[in-house]
Structures are given as C-alpha cells and as structure tokens.
Chain A
Amino acid sequence: MKKNNNIKPPGSEISANPEKAISNNFRKSRYPRFGLPTLVLFGILLIWFIISYTNLFPAYALPSPGAVWKSFLEEIMAGRLINDIIASLWRVAVGFVLSAALGIPTGLWLGQHLRARQAFVPMLNFFRFLSPLAWIPFAILWFHIGDKPAIFLIFMATFFPLAMATMAGVATIPSIFFRVARDYNYKGFELLSKVTFPAVLPQVITALRVSYGISWVVIVAAEMVGCQDGLGYGIWEARNGLRLDSAVCYMIIIGLLGMGIDRLLAQLTKLPTVRWGYER
C-alpha cells in the first residue's frame, strides 16, 4: 500500500499552517528523537556507576555496571540467555496471539449485541479485575510445569482487557458510519468486516499494545513459578544463587525486548488505513 502519511494536497482549499510545519520539522529532527533519550540513558548509567563506585550499597545488594556486563557475557557464552529469550518470546507470542484471536472477535460481537453485553459484561469485568497471578495455583495444577501454564496465565491476563477495549471501541463508532453502510447495503459479515472492524481498528491496535505490555509483565511472574527456563526463571535462578548481577542482566534484557516489540507493534499505527484514528 502506498504510504502517504502527512501528505497535504496542494490547492486553494488547503490552508498552510506554518506553526504545524515548524513542529513537524522539529519532530523529524533526529536530535530530540534519539539524542535526548541517549542523554538520559547515559545519565542513569553514570549515577549507577557513581553509586557502585562509592560503595553506597554493598556489591551483593547493588551490582556494578561492570559486574552486570560480565554476567551478560557469561550468560551469552553459556547459551542460557538466548535459550531463555526464545522460551519467553515463544510463550508470550502463543498466549498473546490466542488472546487476540479470541478477544477481538468477542469484543466485536459484544459491541454489536446489547443483550450479549448485558449478559456478559459483569462477568468480563469480574475476571478483568482478578490479578493474573491469582491463577498461578490453578495454572500449575491444571497444566503442570512448562509452556502451558505460562501461556494460560498470559491468556487470562490479556483476553479480558482486549475484549473489553474492543467492545468499548465498537460502542463509540460514530453512528454515521452505520448509516452510510445502510445506504450502500452492507449487512451481516460484510458490515462487520468492512465497516465495524476498520472503524475500530485504531483502538484495537492501542489495546493490543497495552495488552502486550501486560503479557510481558506476566511472563516473568509465570516463569518464576511454572517453568524451568525463560527470562523470569532466569531471574528466579539468579536470586536463588544470590547472583543479582545476573538478575539485573535479565531485567535489562526483559526491558529492552519489551520496548523493541512494542516498537514493532507501534509500526501498525503507521498503516495508512488506520492513520485517521491517530491524527484527528
């Protein structure tokens, strides 16, 4: 598809907005986008370095940047880190895809049927407010140790918010879209796929990003108790061995991977068919 974001057609009816142009140029400038976060990062590293150099806290309670780097190299060499990353990514991917595949259609269906909303929303809300961690005993009892309990926990953590957000999105679709659909004879599945779904897609993408954040938080807790590998298990192992340098190394990887995947999901907001949802 042709990418034509921010294209303003020329012509007498288009008003030029110099302020907007300036802010666009500022946004496009690479310095604030990459320079400022890099400065903050270096600032934090510097503070961390100073604190550990001055021995403000004992080394076992706050490992130094050097110790963490050493531990990172060690984990890479041993192959544990890569193995744990793959395990966690796999569990998050399966749980999240399952949740999206069921949660989004459920939300669309609920959004379109008042009776169904009346029937199911209290129950959905109930489950939404249950911490996913409360399911841990059940997850282990039902699925034992391995991928399954973690996937189950991610599903339980993300299905309800995704379904609710999609449903709320459908409820806020301007009625004019449905009136136009009626004028042009859209009914049934065609109405759902060609009007309702694209109308709600920008909100669904936002909900996906939020739910992904939840699932990435949950995976750590799930792996601490229900798995024999994965990033969460890595932290648990480090804690058992009093190797906080290794724990910090895993924490950094979790944060970086989370950010990276969120950036990938954010690319969805750049699709030309959803840009409208973020630009007005």
Chain B
Amino acid sequence: MKDKTSDSRLVFENVSHSFGEVAVVKDMDLTVISGEVVVLVGPSGCGKTTILNLLSGYLKPSAGSVIREGVIRTVYQQDGLYPWLTVSENILLGLRFIKDTVLIKKEMAELIGLIHLEGFEQHYPHQLSGGMRQRVELARVLAGESDILLMDEPFSALDYQTRLRMRRELVRLLEIRPRTVVFVTHDIEEAAQLADRILVLSNRPATVQKELRVHAPRPRNLTDHAVIEAMKEILTELGL
C-alpha cells in the first residue's frame, strides 16, 4: 500500500477556539507539510488535545479556518480499538474501502507482520497487553490510503519501557510507511526522539511559544546529543 507520502497538508489559519467563556486556543497559525512529524508539547490542560480535535475536524474552530488535505486518522491514548472485534477485524476497518479481496488479504498479512503480531489475528483487544493494543492501533491507521496521522498521547498509558519500545516501533513503521504526523504529548523525551519539529505550547489559551527543529536522523537514542539539546530547550521553555 502507501509506501510514500502523497500530497497532504494541515493548515491552521488564525484559529481560535473557546469552550463557553474559556479560551483554549488563541490566534494560532500552523502549517504541517507532507511527510513531516510535528510534535506538540505543553503543560497539562493547555489545549493540546483541542488542537488535535480541531485538526481532525471533530471540533469546528470558534474563529479562523482549518485546511485539511489528505485522509486523516487518529491514534487515541487507549481503548481506541473496538473490543468486540478481533485484531484482524479491527485492522480491517482501515481497509474497508478496498474492494479487492486479494489485495485486502495481502495487506492484512503485511500489516500483521509489520507490527509483529502473527498468531494473534483472532485475539480480542482485552486479551492483549497495552503495548500490543497500541501496535494494532498503529496498524489500523497505517492501513489503506491514510495520509495524516493524528496521535493523541498514544503511549502515555503504557509503562516506561514499553513506551520506549513503542517509540522505536513508530519510527520503524513510519520508515516503511511514511505519513504526515501530528503527535501530541506531555513527554519531552518522546518529543525529542520523534519530532522533525517541536512546537512548545504556552499555558491556556494555547499559542505557539517556541518552535524548534530537530535535524538528527531517526531512530534517535535518548543519549544522542540532538535529543539532549532538544530536551534542554523544551525544559527551559516550560520553565522547568
């Protein structure tokens, strides 16, 4: 299936959003270009998830406009898989607009192989560990014709070691199936290891406080100079 990024784009034009009296996002401009991995970090409750919801179209902005070009899929923090469907049935959701059954079968085998879950096709989500479930979510969003992945703290519910493993897993999968990614996290290690560009958000209402680029190739170790430098900068920005 898609092994290179097609033209996809996400643009915020002067977007503001408020819930009642509470302004959550204020005058934000943002352009995510095709194939880019943008990570949003910021203090908890600053409006990161609201930004993702605005990007996905789940929320309509109170002011400004959002341009979306490409098929968007979201990886959620947890419980995004349908518990009544098996691993392969969940992944099939991502392939549901493909009519060619031979192609579906081939793609399914490839995806299961990609996430190393051969033999677990007929298992249900509650029979898997947290890390395995998130791998199935990754396979589902990478299936078929998706262009843009929105990731809402996808590894935050996992233990530390699994989180480290999942970061590597994501990098590996994106090598094979590149996508445009907007990744929300409060974990600065995650941001430094994964991002092409990191946007440090201010307290609510969220504005981009600092934008920094990480040029080192992926996968990046936690001890890599570029990662440490990026983490230092983020920590300084967050006043920590």
Contacts and interface: CB of A to CB of B under 8 A. Distances in A.
Interface of A: 2, 4, 7-9, 11, 13-15, 174, 176-177, 179-180, 182-185, 195, 198-199, 201, 272-277, 279-280
A8 B124 CA distance: 10
Contacts of B127: 4, 7-9
Q: Is chain B's interface secondary structure helix, strand, loop, or mixed overall?
A: loop
Contact of B58 (A174, A179, A273): A179
Nearest to B94: A184
Contacts, number: 66
Interface in B50-97: 56, 58, 72-74, 76, 79-80, 82-85, 93-94, 96-97
Nearest to A198: B84
Interface stretch (B8-16, B17-25, B128-136, B227-235): B128-136
A176 B58 contact: no
Given A9-B120, A184-B94, A176 B84 contact: no
B218 interface: no
A201 B82 CA distance: 13
A13 B131 contact: yes
B125 A276 contact: yes
> Which of A179, A195, A198: most chain B Cβ within 10 A?
A179
B58 A9 contact: no
Given A176-B76, A179-B76, A183-B72, A195 B123 contact: no
Given A14-B129, A198-B84, A275 B58 contact: no
B126 interface: yes
A208 B192 CA distance: 52
A4 B126 contact: no
Q: Sorted from nearest, which 4 A-B pairs have the closest CB atoms?
A: A276-B83, A13-B129, A198-B84, A273-B84
